[in-house]
Amino acid sequence: MNMDFSVEYLKLDQLRQLQSERLSALVEYLGERSDFYKGKFNEAGISPKEIRSIEDISKLPITYKQDLRDNYPFGLFTVPKNELQRIHCSSGTTGRPTVVGYTKEDVDLFSEVVARSLYAAGARAGMQLHNAYGYGIFTGGLGLHYGAEKLGMSVLPISGGMTTRQVDLIMDFKPEVICCSPSYALTIADEFANRGISADEISLKYAVLGSEPWTELIRHHIEERLGVHATNIYGLSEIIGPGVSMEDFEEKGGSYIWEDHFYPEILDPVTKQPVPFGEEGVLVITTLTKKAMPLLRYWTNDITSLYYDDNGKRNMVKMRPILGRADDMLIVRGVNVYPSQIEEAFSHVKGVVPNYYLTPVEKEQMCVALDIDIEIDDDFVKEAQQVINTDDYTIFVGNFGKSIENEIKKRVGITTKVKIHAQDSLPKCEGGKINRILKKK
Ligand code: DLL
């Protein structure tokens, strides 16, 4: 299928014009159809007619996850139920799920942004996708599925889990592209390694990974072991699902936000005012074109920053990898830290395997340190034992743990106690998102 991606290359003034037109139409649409937003506009003393340009966006109210919960299940929908084509929920594990609805047009839009994303990841019409995202109320499986079909790919809807079968079918069917969470890609890579299958025997060329934060350390492991370009796909069900932003396989390091549909802002987590361009804060997104459940200034709770890449192929703004969700921030003796920063810090120690868990240690209801359980690379241990000519594994491992603790202290400024485990001994991701923070001790 020939897809038209020209909108990705619009000049900035044309893009702003398009966003302005879409925002003013959206606000009018909500003023007519949404009791929720009508109430919000009244509260803020805004008349939809005064929103003429994308710059007026800061006059609009912010929408929070709690608003979706309060209006459970369908209170924010702006079309009658018989105009819906699909319903999904967010993957939150606490409280009521947040429900999202799609019209036929919305499903088409969803497929289009995922097709764009897959193309940016290196996938092309005629290739085969091994889709190991969960199918179900989670948006990952069906989202990637429809996008891949739209691009003209074939899809194996294998869903997550049953890792041995995943590897069997990759070897038998020889797909070029895989998608799943980065932590599940590591589990699949381990299964290949355990069977003695090297990267050059694996057909995969591109891995489209997201749904949870990940760092360059994990990218490096996946690229080396699966022989792929691993790129980052970001999204959330409230906005559409996967395909809000995507890395290009020849650029990497940051992801284009498909801002003709999803207008991004970065707000200060406390003042809720825009931060200066380029600074870190909470990503807030307005869905410019959705029909069944459009959202104004949705507070994603994800921490990132925006930038323009002068060397990038497209003109749209990019976002840096998500540092974490504001909820996942740990405060260790007053230092704010996200798990991804700890992952980045220990990536500087050779021999680390990125399978790890963090357990906050509390004293008088304050987090004073972190216990870290982490794996060590088998080959690294064997190599080191030959070089130092000793069997004293305890001393070697003790020193290795110390280097990790020192690196984290130096880079993140917090105290940790690291416990080293043999490779493949800690629980692995069995499909889907992984939670690396364990219950407080
Ligand atoms: O995770 C949608 C998705 C599916 C994205 C497949 C990418 C691939 P939810 O279940 O609603 O939707 O969870 C959304 O997951 O607010 C982030 O906190 C996190 N998240 C998603 N993608 C990334 C990513 C899907 N690439 C929540 N990097 C978001 C970091 C991510 N965090």
pLDDT tens per residue across span 254-290: 999 999 999 999 999 999 999 999 999 999 999 999 9
Say which residues have a Cβ less than 8 Å from residue 364's Cβ, sequence separation at least 6.
none
Region 148-164: mean pLDDT is 98
Both tokens assigned to 392: 């004293």
Is beta strand 128-131 parallel, antiparallel or unpaired with respect to 416-422? unpaired
| Distance from C-alpha of 16 to C-alpha of 21, rounded to nearest angstrom | 9
Q: Return the H-helix or E-strand segment holding 42.
A: helix 35-44
136 C-alpha to ligand 1 centroid (Å): 15
Region 301-328: mean pLDDT is 96
pLDDT tens column, 67-112: 999 999 999 999 999 999 999 998 666 678 899 999 999 999 999 9
> Can you tell me whether residue 243 is helix, strand or coil?
strand
- All structural domains of the chain, each given as residue ranges with its CATH number in brackets, are 1-325 (3.40.50.12780), 329-422 (3.30.300.30)
pLDDT tens column, 321-369: 999 999 899 999 999 999 999 999 999 999 999 999 999 999 998 999 9
Both tokens assigned to 145: 């599925």
pLDDT at 206 over 70: yes
- Other Cβ atoms within 10 Å of 90 Cβ, number: 18
Ligand 1 contact via 183 beta carbon (within 6 Å): no
Q: How far is CA 369 from the centre of its chain?
A: 27
pLDDT at position 1: 55
Please name which of 137, 228, 126, 145 lies closest in space to residue 182, comparing C-alpha atoms: 228
Q: What is the mean pLDDT of the chain?
A: 95
Which band of pLDDT confidence, cut at 50, 70 and 90, is reported for residue 201?
very high
Residue 157: is the preceding peptide bond cis (ω within 30°)? Answer: no
Pocket probe mutation, ligand 1, options 63, 211, 318, max atoms within 8 Å of Cβ? 211
- Residue % of the chain over a pLDDT of 70: 97
Both tokens assigned to 169: 């079918």
Which band of pLDDT confidence, cut at 50, 70 and 90, is reported for residue 395?
confident
Q: Please spell the DSSP secondary structure of 77-126, one letter per residue.
A: --S-GGG--EEEE----SSSPPEEEE-HHHHHHHHHHHHHHHHHTT--TT
236 C-alpha to ligand 1 centroid (Å): 5
Residue 312 zone, left/alpha/beta (φ > 0; ψ -120 to 50; rest):
beta
| Distance from C-alpha of 283 to C-alpha of 298, rounded to nearest angstrom | 8
Ligand 1 contact via 254 beta carbon (within 6 Å): no
Which band of pLDDT confidence, cut at 50, 70 and 90, is reported for residue 4?
confident
Ligand 1 contact via 233 beta carbon (within 6 Å): yes
According to DSSP, residue 238 is labeled T
3 state SS for 173-191: HCCCEEEECHHHHHHHHHH
